[in-house]
Structure 1
Amino acid sequence: MVTSEDVKVQLPAWFVERWRNHLNIGYWPGDPGHPSFPISSKAERKFYDGADDELFTDLRRVLTEVEYPFGIHLILFHECGGVTKVDINPVEILLSVPTGWTYTDGDTGHHSCYGCSVPREDD
């Protein structure tokens, strides 16, 4: 299974048409809504081609076409319980796996967090 972060990048029609049967695709709010991230699997899918997987290379093409200078982050959840992070930017596709897990005593924070797991005052 795959899921992405939520960034405001409009997905081109060719990408939506190619992947609409395989991915849940988000939309920008408004009238009309534009196809965008986040994306996620509709069903189980294998990623045997690694960094050369068609989904990853198509997403790199999207970032290049829309001239989005940053990357997009995906998480793969494997049926064995493993996790792979996929970082895609206009130049490269990088895959990484955790080297270990640390229990957090119930805290959902993480070392790279800038407040995404911290309750806001209006919550």
Structure 2
Amino acid sequence: MVLITKKLIQDLHECNSNEELQAVVIQKQKELKDRLRYKGYDFDDADEAISGGQRIFSDDVENYEAYSEVNFIRLGLSGRWIQHLDEETRYTEIEEAVKNIVRVFRRQSKTVPLTGLK
């Protein structure tokens, strides 16, 4: 997990509802996407992933990895956690961190639980 994602997860602990949680994640995803688009990277429309076959320059690696991780969180919050077999530990750590935040919401009855989270 890259530093940008770690900071985002810390920020998510300050959220008071699932809606706020999703808004923060979507905003961070937009910021990262805008940064990468400015540098010339393309994205798939369907899942908003970075299009394959692009060479990622060393200066952009952290933003690229952060975007992938934040997109993973966004998909998970909408009930579409996906399996990343090649980097299982990294993504499992992210998934568990986000699920723990949502569990706090459930225990405190701050909001209705998100679908797809277990």
- TM-score, structure 2 normalization: 0.30
Judging by fraction of residues, say which structure has more helix.
2
The structure with the larger Rg is 1
- TM-score, structure 1 normalization: 0.29
Judging by fraction of residues, say which structure has more strand.
1
The answer to which structure, 1 or 2, has the higher relative contact order (CA under 8 A, 6+ apart) is: 2
